[in-house]
Structure 1
Amino acid sequence: MVSRNLMILCCLVVAVVAKPTYTDKYDNIDLEEFKENKRLLLAYVDCILDKGKCTAEGKALKDNLLDATETGCEKCTEKQKEGSYEMIEHLIKNEPEIWNELCAKYDPTGKWRKEYEEKAKAKGIKIPQKISTK
C-alpha cells in the first residue's frame, strides 16, 4: 500500500514539474538551407510578419514566436533553443534588416533583443546599428 501511494505521488510530482514544450515535429529542419537560400528565408519571414502565405512549418513558428520571445523560449526543446540562437545570430550578422523587422513586431520594447544581441556579441558577432524603419 505504501509503495503504491509513493508511486502515485511520484507520478503527480512528475506531472506537475514537467513543463509543456512546443511540438518537436519540426526539430530536424535543416537550418543551413535557410541561411544559404535567401528566397526560402524570406518566404518564412514574410509568413511570420503577415506579409505572405505560410507553410505548415511557418504557421507553427508564427503561432509560437511571440510566446517563445516573451518567455525566453522556456517551452522550447533543447534543439529548438539551439536552432533559435543559431538563426538569431545569423540574422544579426547577415540580415540586420530582417532582424530589425522581427524585433519591431515581436519585441517592441527591446527587452529580448538586448539579451540576444549580448549573447551574439559575446561570441564575437558585431552588432550593426539598428536601422530606422521610418
Structure 2
Amino acid sequence: MKCLLLVLAITIQCTLAQSATYTDRYDTINLDDVLANKRLTVAYIKCVLDKGKCTNEGKELKSHIIEALQNGCSKCTKAQREGMRRVIRHLIKYEKGYWQELVEKYDPDRVFTQKYEKELNSI
C-alpha cells in the first residue's frame, strides 16, 4: 500500500511539474525555414490575427500568446523563449505592418511589447 501511495505521489508531482511549461511538442520546428518563407510566415501571422486558417502549431501558439507576453514567457521552454525572441526580432525588422497589427490585437496599450521592442532593438 505504501508503495502504491509513493508511486501515486510521484505521478502527481510529475504531472504538476509538466504543466509548469507549455508543451514542447513543436519545439523542433525549424524557425529559419518558416521565417525564410514569406507565404508560411504570413499564414502563421494570419492565424494568430484570426484572419486565416490555423495549423495545430498555430492553434497552440495562439492559445498561449497573451499569457506568454504578459509573464515574459515564464512557462516557455528554453527553445520557445529563444524562438519567441527570433520571431519578434524578425517581425519588427521585416514585417512591421504585421507586427503593428499583432501589437494592436494582443497589447493595444503596449504594456508588454514595448519591453520586447526595446530589448531586441538594442541587439
TM-score by length of 1: 0.77
Residues 13, 49 of structure 1: alpha-carbon distance in 2 compared, 3 angstrom cutoff:
closer
1:53 and 2:53 are equivalent in the alignment: yes
Write out aligned runs for 1:1-134 (5 A).
20-123=20-123
For residue 105 of structure 1, give the secondary structure of its aligned residue in structure 2.
helix
* Deviation at residue 18 of structure 1 after TM alignment: 7.8
Identity level (%): 46
Assess if the C-alpha contact under 8 Å between 2:47 and 2:58 holds in 1: yes
Deviation of 1:74 after TM superposition, in Å, equals 0.8
Cα gap change, 1:57 to 1:115, in 2 (>3 Å): same
Does the 8 A contact of 2:68 with 2:75 survive in 1?
yes
Please list every run of at least 4 consecutive aligned residues from structure 1 whose deviation after the TM superposition is greater than 2 angstroms. 12-19
- Aligned-residue Cα RMSD (Å) equals 2.1
Task: Report if aligned partners of 2:69, 2:113 keep a CA contact under 8 Å in 1.
Answer: no
Please tell me whether the aligned partners of residues 92 and 99 of structure 2 are also in contact (alpha carbons under 8 angstroms). yes
User: What amino acid does structure 2 have at the position aligned with 1:29?
Assistant: I
Take 1:57 and 1:13, find their aligned partners in 2: how far apart are those partners?
27
Q: Which amino acid aligns with 2:82?
A: E
Q: Distance in 2 between matches of 1:17 and 1:39?
A: 37
Q: Give the aligned residue type for 1:71.
A: N
Report the CA distance between 1:115 and its aligned residue.
0.5
* In structure 2, distance between residues paired with 1:115 and 1:14: 33
Gaps in structure 2 of 5+ consecutive residues: 1-11
On the 8 A contact 2:26/2:57 being kept in 1, the answer is: yes
Note the C-alpha offset of 1:16. 7.8
TM-score by length of 2: 0.83
